[in-house]
Structure 1
Amino acid sequence: MAIEIEPIPGEWYENIETHQIFRVIDIDETSSLIEIQYVDGDIGEMDMVAWEGSDLEWIEPPENWTTPYDDIEPDDLGYSDTDTHPEEEPKIIKRYGNEGE
């Protein structure tokens, strides 16, 4: 009998039956879907029924879990995009109350 383990975003798990290692990225309570990322970087999802039916174990983060991202250049992340703010006049905010003081 499997021990019921709650999915927690950011935590790592191993499926004991398939030996797949993954971490929970997000949980959509509305659709009952759990977004997961495998140790090789692939993204997947499972519903709560599949989660509860799986033999899962909480694990420490794998030592090599960043390997899929090692070849990504900082420019590939979009952080160097200088056109992130629209060029428009700043808006003036009026203060209310105590204007005469």
Structure 2
Amino acid sequence: MAVVFPVIGHWYRRSNGTLFEVVAVDEQDSTIELQYFDGTIDEVDMEAWPALLIEQVRAPEDWSGSVDMTAEDFLDSEPGDLPLGWQDPLEILENSE
């Protein structure tokens, strides 16, 4: 397997199937900051990166892994209960003038 270089914003999968995104690369400290699909943050030394046996993958379509909410959290809400701008983010800007 070829060595894959860490790129901020790209998603990778370890050989055990764990998904993570590179969120920062600190060349001065020689570290790479990772955020796993479940939201956990980790840091890896640049020297250890090639030993991770990873492959670059597409970002997951289901982004809810790092969000601490389940489908049941939405069951009690009424359609009118959504916060201002939930459907249209620009509505907040229009109403603030």
| Superposition TM-score tier, normalisation by shorter sequence | 0.5 to 0.7
The two structures have a TM-score, normalised by structure 1, of 0.63
Match of 1:12 in 2: 11
Letter in 2 for 1:45: E
Normalized per residue, the structure richer in helix is 2
Identity of aligned residues (%): 39
Q: Which runs of 5+ in 1 are unaligned?
A: 75-101
The two structures have a TM-score, normalised by structure 2, of 0.65
Offset of residue 66 of structure 1: 3.4
Q: Deviations over 1:17-74 (max 9, x none)?
A: x221100000000111000000001100111111111211000001223332264xx8
Q: Which runs of 5+ in 2 are unaligned?
A: 70-82, 84-97
Match of 1:51 in 2: 49
How far apart, in 2, do the equivalents of 1:13 and 1:68 lie?
16
Greater Cα radius of gyration, structure 1 or 2 = 1
Match of 1:88 in 2: none
Match of 1:69 in 2: 67
Runs (4+) off by over 4 Å:
none
Q: How many aligned positions are there?
A: 70
How far apart, in 2, do the equivalents of 1:22 and 1:34 lie?
12
Q: Secondary structure at the match of 2:47?
A: helix
